[in-house]
Amino acid sequence: MVKRKKSYKIYVISDTSCLSAERVAKATAVQFLDWDYEIINNPFISKESEVVNIINKASKSLSIVVFTTVIKEIKDCIIENCNKHNIEYLDIMSRFLYSFKGVLKTDPAKLPGITRSMDDSYFKMVEAVEFAIKYDDGKLPEGILLADYVLIGISRTSKTPLSMFLAHQSYKMVNIPIVLGVDPPKELFEIDKRRVIGLIINPRKLNSIRHERIKVMGDKPSSSYIDMEQILKELEFSEKIMKKIGCPVIDVTNKAIEESANIINKIIKRQEKYRKRFQN
């Protein structure tokens, strides 16, 4: 009779794509032949509430948390909640930093980093990430005037993950939710329309995403939130606003974050080329 292997879960948390942390986790996990493991990636994490939710899930079974982040608040939140639930964690950036420090017998001159150069572009990226967090989900509409680009769309059109993805490319991003019957911030009409990008989605796909969101979060279903007629009204309302602004619009239906970001990048490059041409 074949002996069944014991199993555990590896929760990977990152403010980017999880690729670096996942590679480290896999390379380590395969060394333990008597154990099966499952890697659960949690990319583009920028909120402490998301961390709490992930660690709560990890506490339900034998788990290890592996993370890499440039956001101090997220790092502190991960460590605090792992300690609270007695979960082993691996801070990849710090482990590398301390290993180098031990060999070289000297303190590092700058912040830790294992895959990024510590030059001006790196700090510009960190600044952009912090900016995206500060102005996420329309918290402070005045951020619109300070942003490089602004994403607008109704709930569950990938505004936040796209903002974070583009922030890691050093763009200062703001995302503004469009709510049915509520006038959008006046600042949207005060900036160059080419700095605003509208996000739309197929209504049936959106309905499916919202149903899944309710399941994952364990929330009580709101009839209006998942009502198809309501969704159609929301989309129509948002498209009217986008048309009024005159901004470019992309359809995020069935697209990975990377795909949508690539389309937005092409729009941005066109805008930058256009501006340079007229500046010269």
The average pLDDT across 95-99 equals: 65
Q: Is 133 helix (H, G, I), strand (E, B) or coil?
A: helix
Q: Is the pLDDT confidence value at 70 over 90? A: no
Instruction: List 244's β-bridge partners, or say none.
Output: none
Q: Which helix (H) or strand (E) element contains residue 202?
A: none
- Contact (Cβ atoms closer than 8 angstroms) between residue 55 and residue 78: yes
Q: Is the pLDDT confidence value at 82 over 80? A: yes
- How many C-alpha atoms does 38 have within 13 Å on its Cβ side? 11
The average pLDDT across 172-191 equals: 96
Mean pLDDT for the chain?
87
Q: Is the pLDDT confidence value at 65 over 50? A: yes
Instruction: List 199's β-bridge partners, or say none.
Output: 250
The average pLDDT across 39-52 equals: 93
pLDDT tens profile 116-134: 444 456 668 878 888 998 8
DSSP letter string, 234-267: HHHHHHHHHHHHT--EEE-TT--HHHHHHHHHHH
Q: Quick one: pLDDT at residue 117?
A: 46
Cα distance between residue 7 and residue 257, in whole Å: 31
pLDDT tens profile 193-218: 999 999 999 999 999 999 888 877 76
263 pLDDT band (50/70/90 cuts)?
very high
Q: Quick one: pLDDT at residue 227?
A: 92
What's the burial of 256, exposed, middle or buried (CB within 10 Å: 0-12/13-18/19+)? exposed
Retrieve residue 207's tokens.
């309905």
Every domain of the chain and the residues it spans: 4-102, 121-276
- Multiple choice CATH, 4-102, 3.30.950.10, 3.40.50.980, 3.40.50.2300, 3.40.50.300: 3.40.50.2300
Q: Is the pLDDT confidence value at 73 over 50? A: yes
Of residues 223 and 161, which shows the higher confidence score? 161
The average pLDDT across 180-186 equals: 96
Cα distance between residue 189 and residue 246, in whole Å: 10
CATH of domain 121-276: 3.40.50
95 pLDDT band (50/70/90 cuts)?
low
Q: Is the pLDDT confidence value at 232 over 80? A: yes
What is the pTM for the complete model shown?
0.63
pLDDT tens profile 128-154: 888 998 899 998 999 999 999 999 999
- Contact (Cβ atoms closer than 8 angstroms) between residue 188 and residue 243: no
The C-alpha R_g of the chain, in whole angstroms, comes to 21
Instruction: Spell out the residues 6+ positions from residue 219 whose beta carbon is closer than 8 angstroms to its own.
Output: 213
Cα distance between residue 84 and residue 184, in whole Å: 41
